[in-house]
Amino acid sequence: MFTAVLVALAIGGLIIFLVQRSRNHVLKSENGWWGAGAPPDAEEDVTIRPFKVTTSDEELEDLYRRMDQTRPVPSLEDSQFNYGFNSHYLEKVVSYWRKDFDWRRQVDRLNQYPHFKTSIEGINVHYVHVKPKNLPEGTRAIPLMMVHGWPGSFYEFYGLIPLLTEPTNPGDLVFEVVCPSIPGYGFSEAPQKKGFDSVCAARIFHELMKRLGFQQFYAHGGDWGWLVTTNMAQLEPKIVKGLHLNFAPPPKPGLLVVLSIILGRHFPKLFGFTDMDVERLFPCMKKLVVESIKESGYMHIQATKPDTVGRALNDSPVGLAAYILEKFSTWTDHDFRNLEDGGLTRKFSLDDLLTNIMIYWTSGCIISSMRFYKENFSRGLDAPHAKIPVYVPTGFACFPNELMHTPKLWVQQKYHNLISFSPMQRGGHFAAMEEPQLMAEDIQKFTKTVEKQQPEKKQ
């Protein structure tokens, strides 16, 4: 009798432990209000409104006046991009921007896809929603949300969208794509209160997808989009059917990760490390520290006092361009620092780069976009989501020139259902914009794998 009671207690305790453990693996978050003042007594307007990007003569005249009044500063001899954006090349970029770049034409390009806004938690949220034009009979579109980062925008995905919504391969899946602007970025309204972090953005994007009628969907993200979509998977794992990422910083250093750092160089096979893993992870410690310092200064500023430098960038289009475009150089390939032009047009066109700049300039969002760093870093490793694994099926595209290299073993420490890990042939931090074809192929491969494993709920 006594033994039976002990067994029952043990089983009961195990069940309680497993239930509690399961609960702890779901991120909790309550709705907020991010508009000015107190929330209204009336219910929030949940209507979805069409939106178009516009411009005007006054807007362009103000831009040109500010550009004409900039004060050039010569770069040091033989400095290339090692001191930041090379001033000599910046003058060429500004000259093209002033004389040849056609913003009105780019506005038309932005409007080639349908834009919308809807109010969620006191913020007008902007998004692009692209449905396939010619969906084959008997097939369904796969809903996919794609989330950008800093200093990017929804425009990063414009080369990728047609590859997903209108694929040319008959065997490919057809996607219905939603690309929102993170609140405080682009044409999404900025929060008026402190505390708006990635979890808040994730909660708002879940509400957006519910308003659009999706019971399940896939999510893709890089840069901040990695964290926002990861939080979405943690908040509602049954709704996010699959998570695809191209950025995932190293996890909290558990025992296995520490051992891999200590022993991985000498016993790479023990940890499943590839030649690329060894090459990226094990240069001399001095080089790792120096490289980290070279590329992280912006982050310290934005995570502490974003409003100070942000105010200067909000007043100067040339300063804004230098600050943002420098990232599109060195984050694409750190060796581009040694080129006079920063290698900018080796991977991107000036029209595309300046279109992204104009989204920041015309919306006046640079300060609010930088504040996202302060809000997310304020809680650091103590943030609840940092301690919660992800069990949603996950695919990871590992681009060789990404800022931080994360081998498969490390990705698995956070994403426990990693079903796809793809070492990519080429590409850096802005992979969706730089290598849309490679990205589309990997999203297709990952989604097909998940679709074979899971039945789809009716939309």
Question: What is the bridge-based pairing of β-strands 123-130 and 115-120?
Answer: antiparallel
- H or E element, residue 116: strand 115-120
Prior bond to 151 cis, omega within 30?
yes
- State how far Cα 318 lies from the chain centre: 25
CA–CA dist 273, 80 (Å, integer): 34
Residue 226 amino acid letter: W
Label residues 64-97 b or e (16+ Cβ within 10 Å = b).
eebbeeeeeeebeeeebbeebbbeebbbebbeeb
> Residue 7: which residues within 8 A CB-CB, separation 6 or more?
none
DSSP 118: E
- State how far Cα 110 lies from the chain centre: 19
Specify whether the CB–CB gap between 231 and 384 falls below 8 A.
no
φ/ψ of residue 292, rounded to 5: -65, -45
Residues forming the active site: 223, 373, 429
